[in-house]
Amino acid sequence: MNWEKLEAFAQQLVTESDPILTFPPKVIELDFTDTETLPDVLSDVLDCYGYLDMLIINSSMKVKAPAQSLSLEMDKMVMDVNFFGPITLAKGVLPSMISRRSGHILLVNSIQGKLAIPFRTTYAASKHAVQAFFDCLRAEVQESGISVSTISHTFINAAPTTQHTTTRNSILSVLTGQKPHGISPEEMANAILQALGSKKKEIIMAHFISKAAIYARSLFPNLFFAVMAAGVRNAAVRFRKHGWKQSEPYRVIHDRKQRRFTIRLDDGGEAQCAVLKYSHRSDGHLHLLSTQVPESFRGKGVAASLAKAALDFVIEERLKASISCWYIKKYIEENPHHGYQVHIED
């Protein structure tokens, strides 16, 4: 999360909006993996203006890997972010909405809340669970004057592509991430406005093959299962030969006050942390100091996740960095395609 950019955007809204017609925005930090803090966050939210008219829930943590390679800790973390966090937030605002007999809760979910795709076991399970919760909630609170909407979308294209790409319009190729079939942030924003304005109960934003697959799953389940199984054979062969690299194996926490990036680890019930430390130079840029990983977690991609998070931060903030840590230097050499070297000074 880029806290400075959020605060800058909030200030921009204050500057450009009419204070007579709108409330000033307030930015509140929320961590779904720390459920003990949620009651205080909810209290802060409701204390701002006394009530909420609309709640848009847009949290997601994605992990892609064979089921047997995912730890129970990772499964729980994904469920916290994608299921327990959103429903806790919704339950927290419901009493206020019910007492006023007014309100709208909108869940930005995923097409994988409708379809279970291979190598997304935990992610798909979390999205199915949260979809079911809000489908049930919609019926429960309708008589109280509260609307519940869900948006099930395919992946978001952060930037439009200008290259012509030839892809196969097969079920699996579309469902597993061919970029031409994604949606833009602008399309997503318009869908949210549409759902809020019309109080539409459900919007599905996906390629027509993805939509057809939803019906195929219900009407022709054996055919659907066969297509899924056939489509992952090559991936299974690669996994047996080379192992699997998780797309998001660890969650990195950036503590700006302590100037460090941290990964919480579970070593047989014993909590441990991996840490990358940095300092601010006199010119405002960064000095990446050290990376420390518990011995039992070395060689498992923990240090790589920390290095990537720190270097991505340098790029996002358009900073320069000097490096003392040998591992970060090694990581940059092994990943020249990320463009980190441009931001590094001797």
Give per-residue pLDDT as tens, 119-138. 889 999 999 999 999 999 99
What pLDDT score does 335 carry?
Answer: 82
Answer with the residue of higher pLDDT: 211 or 269: 211
Q: Is the pLDDT reported for residue 240 higher than 60?
A: no
Q: Do domains 31-206 and 252-343 have the same CATH topology?
A: no
Model pTM? Answer: 0.67
Residue 95: per-residue pLDDT:
93
Tell the burial category of 150 from Cβ atoms under 10 Å away from its Cβ (0-12, 13-18, 19+): buried
Is the confidence at residue 239, as pLDDT, over 80? no
CATH 3.40.50.1820 describes domain 252-343 = no
pLDDT tens track for 155-193: 776 544 444 444 444 455 555 444 445 788 888 999 999
Catalytic residue among 51, 123, 215, 331: 123
The more confidently predicted of residues 333 and 157 is: 333
Q: Which of 49-53, 95-99, 143-147, 178-182 has the lowest mean pLDDT?
A: 178-182
| Reported confidence tier of residue 269, pLDDT bands at 50, 70, 90 | low
- The answer, yes or no, to whether residue 90 has pLDDT greater than 60, is yes
CATH homologous superfamily for 31-206? NAD(P)-binding Rossmann-like Domain (3.40.50.720)
User: Mean per-residue pLDDT for 147-153?
Assistant: 95
Whole-number average pLDDT of the chain = 83
What percent of the chain is modeled with pLDDT above 70? Answer: 85
Would residue 123 show up in a list of annotated catalytic residues for this protein? yes
Parse the chain into domains and list their residue ranges.
31-206, 252-343
**pLDDT at residue number 232:** 65
Crossing angle for the helix pair 302-316 and 326-334, to the nearest 10 degrees: 80
What secondary structure, in 3-state letters, does the chain show? CCHHHHHHHHHHHHHHCCCCCCCCCCCCCCCCCCHHHHHHHHHHHHHHHCCCCEEEECCCCCCCCCHHHCCHHHHHHHHHHHHHHHHHHHHHHHHHHHHHCCEEEEEECCHHHCCCCCCCHHHHHHHHHHHHHHHHHHHHHHHHCEEEEEEEECCECCCCCCCCCCCCCCHHHHHCCCHHHCECHHHHHHHHHHHHHHCCCEEEECCHHHHHHHHHHHHCHHHHHHHHHHHCHHHHHHHHHHCCCCCCCCCEEEECCCCEEEEEEEECCEEEEEEEEEEECCCCCEEEEEEECCHHHCCCCHHHHHHHHHHHHHHHCCCCEEECCHHHHHHHHHCHHHCHHHHECC
pLDDT of residue 238: 52
Predicted pLDDT of residue 326: 93
What is the percent of the chain with per-residue pLDDT over 90, rounded to a whole number? 37
pLDDT tens per residue, range 293-322: 988 888 888 999 999 999 988 888 888 999
